[in-house]
Structure 1
Amino acid sequence: MQTLLLLGSLNMALVVILGAFGAHALKRKLTPELLKIYETGVLYHLVHGLGLLLIGVLAGGAVSSGLAVTAGWLLQIGIVLFCGSLYVLALTGVKRLGAITPLGGLGFITGWVVLFAAALQG
């Protein structure tokens, strides 16, 4: 639980830094298409960082903590694979990295489904 709160907090700080970096340093360096890809990574990073914070709180008692912790780790994996691959793709233009992105999306989806199961168990 504490680990998820720490990860969520760290991800939220990181997403602010990466968002500001994109808005200020990359705006003139990336094509509009690559900037849009980068911004998509930031958006998903933000949403799932908040999700980690929520799961960390829920794992403290409102849901099955074992499943909630698993859900949190799946979101973290999604952040690394989905958002990370979009960041690297936007910064390098290496399109092969796009093959990793769906794996991160699968991590997000699986994490939310596992959290649903945790809520069912109470």
Structure 2
Amino acid sequence: MSYKYFAYGAIGAALAVALGAFGAHGLKDTLTEDMLEVYETGVRYHMYHALALMLLALLSDRIGDAKLIRVAARLLIAGIILFSGSLYALALSDVKVLGAITPLGGVAFLAGWGCVAAAALRARNKV
């Protein structure tokens, strides 16, 4: 479990760097200031959760409940896709309805973090 999700996190972090650079250099003259801020928010949450995925993979053996950890990792990945992906699409297309997808990604992030907390509390009770 840890190798696969660590790799997913590393790939996600690399993608966040590439998308961030693209935004900073390729879009600064194309997007409005507001849309550039939307794009940057997507990059920031993308990187946070890619790094969190890597940390989760490293700690997965210590936290315990492998099923909850896998669910948490999958929810963080879904959150990156839905939250950050919808912000990227919104900024690049200016199709406002895409903003309706963003909260689904936020819910996935929250559920993922809830699974991490539950796994940690279960592990604590087993010690």
Tell me the TM-score normalised to structure 2 length.
0.93
User: How far does residue 16 in structure 1 lie from its aligned partner after superposition?
Assistant: 0.5
CA distance in 1, matches of 2:91, 2:34: 9
Instruction: Tell me the equivalent position of 1:64.
Output: 65
Please, which moves more after superposition, 52-61 or 7-16? 52-61
Tell me if structure 2 keeps the 8 A contact 1:85–1:101. Answer: yes
Amino acid at match of 2:67: G
Cα RMSD (Å): 0.8
Q: Given the alignment of the two structures, is residue 51 of structure 1 paired with residue 52 of structure 2, yes or no?
A: yes
- When Rg is computed on C-alpha atoms for both structures, the one with the higher figure is 2
CA distance in 1, matches of 2:51, 2:101: 22
Amino acid at match of 1:103: L
Tell me the TM-score normalised to structure 1 length.
0.97
CA distance in 1, matches of 2:106, 2:63: 26
User: How far does residue 99 in structure 1 lie from its aligned partner after superposition?
Assistant: 0.6
Instruction: Tell me the equivalent position of 1:7.
Output: 8
User: How far does residue 69 in structure 1 lie from its aligned partner after superposition?
Assistant: 1.3
1:54-94 CA distance string (max 9 Å, x none): 11111133332221111011000000000000000000000
CA distance in 2, matches of 1:33, 1:70: 34
User: How far does residue 38 in structure 1 lie from its aligned partner after superposition?
Assistant: 0.1
Unpaired runs of at least 5, structure 1 = none
Aligned residues: 122
Give secondary structure in 2 for the equivalent of 1:79: helix
What does residue range 10-49 of structure 1 map to in structure 2 within 5 Å?
10-49=11-50
Unpaired runs of at least 5, structure 2 = none
Give secondary structure in 2 for the equivalent of 1:60: helix
